[in-house]
Amino acid sequence: MTSNANPQPSASPVAIDGLTRRFRRKTALDGVSLKVPRGFVYGLVGENGAGKTTLIKHLLGLLKPQAGSVQVFGLDPIAAPEQTLGRIGYLSENRDMPNWMRVRELMLYTKAFYPAWDDAYAEHLRATFDLDPGAKIRTLSRGQRAQAGLLAALGHRPDLLILDEPSSGLDPIVRRDILAAIIRTVADEGRTVLFSSHLLDEVERVADHVAMIHTGRLVMQGPLDDIKQGHLRVTLRFPEPQRTPPDLPGALFWEGAGTEWATVCNGQAAALKEAAAQRGAEVLEEATPSLEEIFIARAKAGPARVREA
């Protein structure tokens, strides 16, 4: 059950098709389909409660799809847990770890689960994070806990590293460690990272691909560059003050007051600018919006308007 024995070596690390999950009345995931390509960093973004963790739990075989399918390296993680989990490294926001163990014991304990565990690499990580091998997990700071969790997730050099909100609630120095670990992992030929975050500047730094989940639905996904280039932030000055946000084609979300309004628009910037010109508006500024601005614009525009992009 080592990584070499995989029956479908060419399969996508993650392939989700039409995944739906309800908890009582609440729909946590609604027909989500996505594919994580091998060798890339895939960022899953969305507000708290958007469905990111629910999606990740399906990848780990902790939840069974109510509709649709989930495949990890071409296999069903529930039917073939050893072949899938053995190739995954996972760190959750809660960083659940046996509190009574010492760091040294945690390493030995985790090693027992993974035939591919690399002692030298794990020791290198421990030294990099400056974790005392004799310290009990209980006594570690938040940041050290995250580092210990990362060590446990990376020690077997997983083909797929899954991080669920890895840097939430951490100070900037530990966040750097986590981002650096993502970078180092993916710089190793062929390894894949899937991480969820609501810190969009972080996602923008390290992700190649981004999927955006909003209230259980996938509102946007694709290469980060395409997403960025598919949007434009335009600042306009109108000859007369506008009481309400101007209604122009392609505009997802407006900010402004009086004569000056800024919008993030989808790909059809030409149509928007033409319509603006007809109203006598002057373009003050055009810029590529940040992922955060795109996310806010998409979330506020709502799924109805988002579909067409």
Partner 1 sequence: MRIHVSPNDGKPIYRQIVSQVKYLVAARRLRPGDELPPIRTLAEQLLINPNTVARAYRELEIAGMLTKRQGAGTYVADAGSPLADSERERILTERIDALLAEANQLDFPLERVIAFVRKRHADFTAPEEDNHDEQR
Report in angstroms how near the CB of residue 98 gets to partner 1 at its nearest.
Answer: 31
Q: Does 103 bind partner 1 (CB under 8 A)?
A: no
In terms of CB distance, is 96 or 225 closer to partner 1?
A: 225
Selected range binding partner 1 among 20-28, 152-160, 224-232, 299-307, rule: CB under 8 A: 224-232
Which residues lie below 8 Å from residue 236, measured CB to CB, with a gap of 6+? 246, 260, 261, 262, 263, 276, 281, 282, 283, 284
Q: What are phi and psi of 302, to 5 degrees?
A: 85, 160
Say whether residue 292 binds partner 1 (CB under 8 A): yes
Pick between residue 128 and residue 268 the one whose CB is nearest to partner 1: 128
Minimum CB separation of residue 39 from partner 1 in Å reads 9
List 17, 118, 123, 208, residue binding partner 1 (CB under 8 A):
208
For 139, half-sphere exposure in the C-beta direction (CA atoms, 13 angstrom radius) is 9
Q: Tell me which amino acid residue 287 is.
A: A
Written as six digits, the tokens of 175 are: 């966040």
Positions in 230-289 near partner 1 (CB under 8 A): 233, 287-289
Strands 282-287 and 67-72: unpaired
Element (H, E) at 93: none
Q: Is residue 288 exposed (0-12), middle (13-18) or buried (19+ Cβ within 10 Å)?
A: exposed
- Which of the residues 148 through 207 are near partner 1 (CB under 8 A)? 176, 179-180, 183-184, 186-187, 200-201, 204-207
Residue 38 is a binding residue for partner 1 (CB under 8 A): no
Closest separation in Å from C-beta 269 to partner 1: 14
What 3-state class would DSSP assign to 302? coil
**How far is Cα 73 from Cα 160, in angstroms, rounded to an integer?**
9
| Minimum CB–partner distance for residue 272 and partner 1 (Å) | 18
CB 230, min distance to partner 1, A: 12
H-run or E-run covering 87: none
Shortest Å distance, C-beta 240 to partner 1: 24
Interface with partner 1 by CB under 8 A: which residues?
40-41, 176, 179-180, 183-184, 186-187, 200-201, 204-208, 225, 228-229, 233, 287-292
